[in-house]
Structure 1
Amino acid sequence: MASSEATNASLAYQYGGNHKGGWLAYLPEEWLPYVQLARLSPPVGLFLVFIPHAFGILHAAIRNQSAPLDVARASGLLFAASFFYSNAVHIWNDLIDAPIDSKVQRTRKRPIPRRAVSPRAAFLFAASQALVTGSFLFFMEGNLVENCLYAVPGIISWTYYPYAKLHTFWTQAVLGFALSWGVVMGSISLGLRPVAYKAGQVDFATIVLFTASICWTMIYDSVYAYQDLADDLQIGVGSMAVLFRYQIKPIFWSLVAVITVCLGILGRWEEMSPVYYILVPGGTTLWLGLMVTNVNLADSGSCWWWFSNGFWGVGGFIVVGLLLEYLRIIRFWN
């Protein structure tokens, strides 16, 4: 019995949307369900959304040799936008997923399944966050209409994502597209258009970075999905974990190879320095290799640890590598 309670307590902290500790203890009780809906503690969701934007910002800064103040402005703008965007998509996901969440041990005490927030209130909360997110498009560099057009694929993919598990096993690919669209939005925030509609041109360096981000998401979110594998099999929803069960590691290794090649192509295309190759393709491949080798997919605690650390490790290597390359390009050290 004690072991079962410990397991349940552990699951509550594995991004289940029902955290209560830390600074949340100081909030009015009626605020708590809304903070839980938005995944503000721990703030993993915010960085899941922002980090791909940071990839795009830094890549565009390298290409355009952007001024540091412009990079700082774009980063601050998209970090703030990511806060509201993360709120909106997490609330939307919980709203659509509520009937499924009520049947899953890790998520059954989220605010909507436990009836702490009504579906109507959740929808209005999500809509308010989405509207605030949209307002940031007015402050981005470039033409407003074009910026809005660039945002559409991300909006569509996020809207569809909570339904994906009902239609396909490749839900992690859908999530990868939705999250990685941040690479595109980060790029346009500094004037790098991945697709020049009028000229009919595609920026292939941005596309390979976008592809690497999708594959990375597919790995870490699949590891995350194994926490709920038994429940998902019983309920009948789709994921890569459900499709491949415990034979997924060869798929992971294939995705690692694609990521390494894409990041290598990016370096070659942009004529990056050796530091980039050591940190970005090298560090990313090493960290993902450790993750794929060591994660115990049958152990929820191991899945949570490697999901969290796999995200921060790879995201950190790519951001730091691109940042150092940008500083080299603008001769920051001279």
Structure 2
Amino acid sequence: MNKTFFANGADARYILAMTSPAPITTPDAVAGNWVARAPVFAQPYLRLMRADRPVGTWLLLIPCFWGLALAAASGYASLDLLWYAALMSIGAYVMRGAGCAYNDIVDRDFDAQVERTALRPIPAGQISVKQAWGFLVFLSFIGFAVLLQFNRFAIYLGLGSLALVAAYPFMKRITWWPQAWLGLTFNWGALVGYAAAAGKLDPQAFAIYAAGIFWTLFYDTIYAHQDTEDDALIGVKSTALRLGEKTLPALGLFFAMTITLFALAGALLHAHVIYYIALLPAAAHFVWQLKHLDIHNSAACLALFKSNRNAGLLLLLSPLCELALRSI
């Protein structure tokens, strides 16, 4: 695909009208995903909420599970934990969708100039900005209904994330570290998950939240390397552009801090040695990613980024092992 075609949204819409009568898919969508089989009228909305790219939902949901599991291991286990996990799964799905819709509304002019994003529903002309706002409100109401099922402290804490969400799309305009802000935003669920089970926040909850921030710096820097050429041309900032050829050692630091802060959460919890041993598979996964990293290969960067669903689930092993040991 020639990048010169995407100088603005009108160019993208022209190409779609002239050459794409079939359902449109974005380059990083999962091949053969269910969105392509959904009713035609629904497909642009499903793509707006990234239903064809589920890894983002996992990356938002997994910290919620960390918080729940850590709270349970801290002595706040109850029969409601599975119910909370189900609610958070629904909440993560719809609120990730709402966040993507908001991001696309704010970034629609930038998206039209980047090859990977030019075919998203708003710059491609499939959905108007007004329709996108309406869909965002609809998803937000569902997310709010889910949040109301938790205790009051968790509800207020969840609402506190809205300021982070609202500011995120603008960070790439003002700082080289928008991935750090994404980390603050995407891992808020670790705090909400802990608060939902415990009704309060303990030091270990903040440690695991901080671990999530470094984890996000790790995976989203890899993701951002897909767009460095376009981002540089249009003036968008990212850690990928800031770090450049120094990305590999920086990623090593980010993953080391992730593991260290998870270990700190265990220390604050007075965890069994098994908790720390259970961190080894996640550490090995991070090392594997670094060994296969090629910042000049967009396909490789996307594949490694997606593999962080597995990295996040491996990190979940530690609090789950601790919970299992304390339940015996």
Same structural fold, with TM-score higher than 0.5 when normalized by the shorter chain = yes
Q: With the length of structure 1 as denominator, give the TM-score of the two structures.
A: 0.87
Q: Does 1:185 align with 2:199?
A: no
Structure 2 Cα separation of the partners of residues 137 and 284 of structure 1: 30
Task: Report deviation, 1:300.
Answer: 0.4
Task: Report deviation, 1:55.
Answer: 0.6
Q: Does 1:324 align with 2:321?
A: yes
Q: 1:170 aligns with which of 161, 177, 190?
A: 177
Judge conservation of contact 2:28–2:53 (CA < 8 Å) in 1.
no
Residue 284 of structure 2 is matched in structure 1 by 286
Structure 2 Cα separation of the partners of residues 147 and 271 of structure 1: 25
Judge conservation of contact 1:205–1:266 (CA < 8 Å) in 2.
yes
Structure 2 Cα separation of the partners of residues 25 and 230 of structure 1: 29
Structure 2 Cα separation of the partners of residues 253 and 155 of structure 1: 31
Q: With the length of structure 2 as denominator, give the TM-score of the two structures.
A: 0.88
Residue 97 of structure 1 is matched in structure 2 by 107
Q: 2:42 aligns with which of 31, 36, 52?
A: 31
Q: Which amino acid in 1 is paired with 2:239? A: M
Count how many residue pairs are aligned between Structure 1 and Structure 2: 306
Task: Report deviation, 1:20.
Answer: 7.8
Judge conservation of contact 1:65–1:329 (CA < 8 Å) in 2.
no
Judge conservation of contact 1:65–1:326 (CA < 8 Å) in 2.
no
Q: Which amino acid in 1 is paired with 2:65? A: A
Q: 2:63 aligns with which of 32, 52, 56?
A: 52
Structure 2 Cα separation of the partners of residues 46 and 64 of structure 1: 28
Task: Say which SS state the counterpart of residue 166 (structure 1) adopts.
Answer: helix
Judge conservation of contact 1:60–1:192 (CA < 8 Å) in 2.
no
Judge conservation of contact 2:70–2:194 (CA < 8 Å) in 1.
yes
Q: Does 1:109 align with 2:119?
A: yes
- Say which is worse superposed, 247-256 or 57-66, in terms of deviation: 247-256
Percent identity between the two aligned chains: 26
Deviation string 1:172-196 (CA, Å, 9 cap, x unpaired) is 00000001111011011102412xx
Structure 2 Cα separation of the partners of residues 23 and 294 of structure 1: 29
Superposed, which structure 2 residues align to 1:40-189 within 5 Å?
40-67=51-78, 69-140=79-150, 142-143=151-152, 146-189=153-196
- Say which is worse superposed, 164-173 or 43-52, in terms of deviation: 43-52
Q: Which amino acid in 1 is paired with 2:37? A: Y
Judge conservation of contact 2:271–2:322 (CA < 8 Å) in 1.
yes
Deviation string 1:52-107 (CA, Å, 9 cap, x unpaired) is 1111010011112413x221111111111112111111111111111101000101
Deviation string 1:164-217 (CA, Å, 9 cap, x unpaired) is 1011111000000001111011011102412xxxxxxxx221111111100000
Structure 1 Cα separation of the partners of residues 100 and 278 of structure 2: 31
- Say which is worse superposed, 300-309 or 269-278, in terms of deviation: 269-278
Judge conservation of contact 1:56–1:183 (CA < 8 Å) in 2.
yes
C-alpha distance 20-257 of structure 1, shift in aligned 2 (>3 A): closer
Judge conservation of contact 1:92–1:126 (CA < 8 Å) in 2.
yes
Deviation string 1:286-309 (CA, Å, 9 cap, x unpaired) is 221221232000000110111111
Q: Which amino acid in 2 is paired with 1:170? A: W
Judge conservation of contact 1:180–1:214 (CA < 8 Å) in 2.
yes
Judge conservation of contact 2:67–2:192 (CA < 8 Å) in 1.
yes
Q: 2:311 aligns with which of 309, 314, 328?
A: 314
Q: Which amino acid in 1 is paired with 2:231? A: D
Residue 32 of structure 2 is matched in structure 1 by 21
Task: Report deviation, 1:256.
Answer: 2.1
Residue 268 of structure 1 is matched in structure 2 by 267
Residue 218 of structure 1 is matched in structure 2 by 217
Unaligned ranges ≥5, structure 1: 3-10, 195-202
Q: Does 1:251 align with 2:250?
A: yes
Residue 197 of structure 1 is matched in structure 2 by none
Unaligned ranges ≥5, structure 2: 3-24
- Say which is worse superposed, 107-116 or 81-90, in terms of deviation: 81-90
Task: Report deviation, 1:314.
Answer: 1.6
Residue 227 of structure 1 is matched in structure 2 by 226
Structure 2 Cα separation of the partners of residues 25 and 41 of structure 1: 8
